Amino acid sequence: MPSRTTPSTATGGSAETAAESETVKVDPRFVRSRAQLHAAVLALAAERALAEISISDITDWAGVNRATFYQHYREKDGLLADAMNSALTQELGLLRAGRAAHGSGDTPESQLISYFRHIDRHRAVYRRALGPQGSALVITQVRENLEESVIRGMRPPIEDDVPVWLRAAFLAGALMGMVTAWVRSDNEYSPEAIGDAARQLLTEDRSRLSRAGTDPPGE
């Protein structure tokens, strides 16, 4: 499930011309500098809140100038959201490729645990991004991805008057609260334990849901 963060939203809504878009696809310098910016913001966001990180901090760490930053993004939130989504997509892609090479496919349990392992791997970043001084764009991105996951996990028909989108928002809110509580706490719950707890909590009514929310964001 692709994230809703597109190149235009990542850059703060700036539109690209066809020529610029083509340049993005083929210019290795553009790809390299974007990867450097991603690495920089992820490293810095693991150490302190985004509000405490300046664009100069990011460009100094990445080894690029401010003009290069603005070729990619208009503000820090867009960079952080894009970097987190890119890391998630890459990690899940590698996991799927590894399973395919060994002849094993994804199951609802393995997908959910893979997502929580990604969060645990970048726990310091998620703790700050989802906290009081975090990134509104990241929070929105995670919540929207969770809603899409819940919708994909639903087994129709659901015989009541609650629309699918409203049910998905409700369950995504529960997952969002669970993720936020986990990354902001000092407990030692493993990704596997959190994944199992989420699966149990979201599938109590098995006649309505089929392991809701088990398709990880970024798929």
Cα distance between residue 167 and residue 73, in whole Å: 34
Report the SS3 class of residue 155: coil
pLDDT category at 16 given cuts 50, 70, 90 is very low
Q: Which residue would you say has higher pLDDT here, 55 or 163?
A: 55
Cα distance between residue 191 and residue 124, in whole Å: 14
Q: Whole-model pTM?
A: 0.72
Please give the pLDDT value at position 12: 46
How is residue 203 annotated by DSSP?
T
Tens digit of pLDDT for each residue in 149-193?
667 666 555 566 788 888 888 888 888 999 999 999 888 889 889
